[in-house]
Structure 1
Amino acid sequence: MADADGSAQSAVWPLPKFYFQVKWDDKELAFQEVSGLETETQEIEYRHGNSPVFSTIKMPGIAKQGRVTMKKGVFKSDNSFWDWYSQIKLNTIKRIPVTISLLDESGAPTMVWKLKNAWPAKISGTDLKSDGNEAAIETIEIVHEGITIENS
């Protein structure tokens, strides 16, 4: 994508997805992968009895938030996932804001996803293989009550 004079000065490129940060409440954690930043609205189908059109109309219904899955390496004496998960006791879990930021080449956030009232729903420990040579990775799935997007 070059200009008429051959320069690429005004080219617009999509952002790479490998440079990001995740903040839980007030701490920053390093993750290998984040997925599930999604929301959807259920549809309501309706047709009144004397409608001249023999099909339903579709209206927006209740919004549904997906689970956000985060994967990170296992480190010695790091029990942050398990400590948070162990706080679940009959709706007394600590709900925290989670901020996921896609960063530019200087480390400044360019796109920010904010999760409201997040808490852990599932934790998966690493698999163990005697003949493997990969890093040990653990996974946490968090649920939340809403996602907002901010662009810088």
Structure 2
Amino acid sequence: MSSLFSNVYPPSAFYFKVVFGTTLGMTDTSFQEVSGMSAEIETETVVEGGENRYVHTLPKGVKHPFLELKRGIAPLTSPLVVWCKSVFELGFIAPVVAQPIVVQLLDEKQLPLRVWSFANAYPVKWEVENFGSTKNEVAIEKIVLSYTYSNRLI
């Protein structure tokens, strides 16, 4: 597929890259799945005195779900594992360090088609999925991140 058609057809969702602020633009490891890239406006219902036909729905602010990353269990030397260990295993003796995260949807030439940035992200959950003696699958870890806001850059 040429780059001419990349702008015509919707991009595939399987070729992407996640970059963390502490890895200086290098990819830590491949991820199986990224989810939680959405924004929603919180609303407040206000009843107007004397008007019974409707209520006003007013915007309050934007909320974001957690960003979830899934991948095969990485070695202890992975920058993401080091970051998660510092948050979950040091008993808060050191401050939690937030960092920017960028998710890029790539084309066949490894060029970004779409880019999302997530500001001030930090891990809030680190989970290893179930092991099963009847499974023939890779052991998966899931890292759940909170962030303050996101932007779509491209």
TM score, norm. by length of structure 1: 0.82
Which one-letter code corresponds to 2:9 in the other structure?
Answer: W
Structure 2 residue identity aligned to 1:149: R
Equivalents in 2 of 1:45, 1:90: separation in Å?
Answer: 43
Contact 2:18 2:27 in 1 (8 A): yes
* Matched residue, 1:38: 38
Kindly tell me: are residues 80 and 64 of structure 1, through their superposed partners in 2, closer, same or farther at Cα, counting changes over 3 Å? Answer: same
**Partner Cα distance (1:144, 1:87) in 2:** 17
Q: CA RMSD in A?
A: 2.5
Q: Helix, strand or coil for the counterpart of 1:14?
A: coil
1:139 Cα deviation (Å)?
0.6
Structure 2: tracts of 5 or more residues without a match = none
Name 2:136's counterpart in structure 1: 133
Report the AA paired with residue 21 of structure 1: K
Within a 5 Å distance, the mapping from 1:77-96 to structure 2 comes to: 77-78=76-77, 80-88=79-87, 89=92, 92-96=95-99
Name the residue aligned to 1:28: 27
Q: Of Structure 1 and Structure 2, which has the larger fraction of its residues in helix?
A: 2
| Structure with the greater alpha carbon radius of gyration | 1
Matched-pair identity in %: 27
Q: Quick check: 1:81–1:123 contact (8 Å CA) kept in 2?
A: no
**SS in structure 1 of the partner of residue 137 of structure 2:** coil
Q: Which runs of 4+ in 1 moved over 6 A?
A: none
